[in-house]
Amino acid sequence: MAQRSPLDLPEGDPFGPDNLPYGVFTTSDAPHLRKIGVRYGAHVLDAGAAAAVAASPHAELLGASSLNPLMAAGRPVWQAVRAELRDWLTNPAHRHAIEPLMHPLTTLALHLPIEVADYVDFFASEHHASNAGKIFRPDGDALTPNWKHMPIGYHGRAGTVLVSGSPIVRPHGQQLPSASSAPPRPVFGPSLRLDFEAEVAFVVGAPSPLNTPLPLAGFHDHVFGVCLLNDWSARDIQSWEYRPLGPFLGKSFATSLAAWITPLDALATARTAPPARDVTPLPYLDDSAAEPGGFDLRIEVAVNGHTVSRPPFSAMYWTAAQQLAHLTVNGASLRTGDVFASGTVSGPNPDELGCLLELTWGGRDPLHLPDSTRTFLEDGDEVTLTAWAPGPDGVRIGMGEVTGHVVPAAS
């Protein structure tokens, strides 16, 4: 039987012509030559080579070793490049030229597709925020008084954002033993409460100048794409260090980013209204008259291959457009490569929680896997986030997975 062309996709392939996510790859014969690729089915188009063959005006942007130059070019260029890619991959006239530029995905090494500038993590799920509040602060209110007035966030560590597949070394740090004395006496050692957080990240393309707050509608012009993110969290380090300035070393040791960035335009059919809000936000955050700011992304979390949760991104209280408006309302500028993450995605139901902290209620109720139980992650555990969104004509838009496995603490 003749081999199927990589350009002929099975019906309903989640990485079809309406998706076209971007990544950066190397091949085994040129392991230092990073190239921009576009995922199509089970193959990856060498986008720089395709642009050169087609004498595209965007050959230089697509011939770069990261997505940053393309991201900086702005929305009209993103749209023009997307139209070219779709033409190269679907128009029979280009078949002969494009087929040899398709690499089987399994033969490639994938790299961090962007140079991360600043990294910010929000806290936008009401379900997650109130569960975390009850677990970390059982004597206080579940939500802090500011929570429904602004998207709460903190600045993370851009330099430790890692591509999917990178090993996660169990971090060392200060922790307070559970039966602790007064005054508290911390101990030092490998974290015993290592956790994942299922999140969605938004990648800034076009920069914005200092002292220029962006309106909610600025989201489209500045955000290049969307991808899954795992904000690994050491709960024992976090709970001892976080007052009063927020998360620090309990989260900065590693954050995993998917190798594929889904263009914002690929998620046009996944836009959805956020949940009803019971507090009217200040005017710069008021999206009641704006286009629907949510995204219907169906996330799945697997530990060692077993699904443990299905967090619905549509349940997020604060939207990415509100987060971007809030990020810049004080005059802070945006740089190409800034990443802002949604915060842990948790839904209202017990099988929709986005981290072990919630799934095990702070370690109190172990999670049952088919062959074992977990409170927090053990060495060797692998955590994988996948997601899909509704695309045109009932076809799913697949998001690139983000995976990572825990390796023992350094001795």
Ligand X SMILES: O=C(O)/C=C/C(=O)CC(=O)CC(=O)O
Our CB check for ligand X shows the closer of 145 and 370 to be 145
Cβ of residue 208: shortest distance to Ca ion, in angstroms? 24
Cβ of residue 1: shortest distance to Ca ion, in angstroms? 48
197 near Ca ion, judged by CB under 5 A: yes
Helix runs in 14-62, H state only: 47-53, 59-62
128 annotated active-site: yes
233 near ligand X, judged by CB under 6 A: yes
Strands (E), 84-197: 102-104, 109-111, 119-122, 153-155, 161-163, 168-169, 172-175, 187-190, 194-195
Inter-CA distances, 29 with 33, 41, 166, 218, Å: 9, 23, 21, 42
133 near ligand X, judged by CB under 6 A: yes
295 is in an annotated binding site: no
> What is the per-residue DSSP string for 329-347?
TTS--B-TT-EEE------
Q: Cβ–Cβ contacts within 10 Å for residue 368, how many? A: 11
Hey, which residues does 339 pair with through a beta bridge? 119, 203
CA distance 375 to 112: 30
Residue 199 contacts residue 228 (beta carbons within 8 Å): yes
231 near ligand X, judged by CB under 6 A: yes
Phi (first) and psi of residue 383, to 5 degrees? -115, 130
195 near Ca ion, judged by CB under 5 A: no
137 is in an annotated binding site: yes
The listed partner (Mg ion, ligand X, Ca ion, none) that binds 358, CB under 5 to 8 Å by sort, is: none
Inter-CA distances, 220 with 167, 202, 321, Å: 34, 11, 8
Quote the radius of gyration of the chain (alpha carbons, Å): 22
197 near ligand X, judged by CB under 6 A: yes
- From the list 237, 304, 293, the residue with the least C-alpha distance to 267 is 293
Dihedral of the alpha carbons of 325, 329, 331, 332, in degrees to the nearest 10? -50
Segment near ligand X (CB under 6 A), from 31-39, 126-134, 211-219, 378-386? 126-134
Residue 220 contacts residue 264 (beta carbons within 8 Å): yes
* Binding positions for Ca ion, 105-124, rule CB under 5 A: 121
335 is in an annotated binding site: no
Cβ of residue 290: shortest distance to ligand X, in angstroms? 23
Cβ of residue 188: shortest distance to ligand X, in angstroms? 21
With contacts defined by CB under 6 A, how many residues of the chain interact with ligand X?
Answer: 14
344 near ligand X, judged by CB under 6 A: yes
123 is in an annotated binding site: yes
251 is in an annotated binding site: yes
Our CB check for ligand X shows the closer of 23 and 156 to be 156
46 near Ca ion, judged by CB under 5 A: no
310 is in an annotated binding site: no
360 is in an annotated binding site: no
247 near ligand X, judged by CB under 6 A: yes
- Point out the catalytic residue in the list 128, 149, 172, 220: 128
CA distance 381 to 260: 23
Dihedral of the alpha carbons of 316, 255, 136, 142, in degrees to the nearest 10? -10
Question: Where does this chain bind Mg ion (CB under 5 A)?
Answer: 231-232, 251, 255
CA distance 314 to 274: 7
List the x/- string, 95-124, binding to ligand X by CB under 6 A: --------------------------x-x-
Note the residues at the interface with ligand X (CB under 6 A).
121, 123, 128, 132-133, 136, 197, 199, 231, 233, 242, 247, 343-344
Going by the annotation, the residues of the binding site for Mg(2+) are 231, 251, 255
Would you please indicate which residues are annotated as catalytic (active-site) residues?
A: 128
Going by the annotation, the residues of the binding site are 121, 123, 137, 197, 199, 231, 238, 242, 251, 255, 344
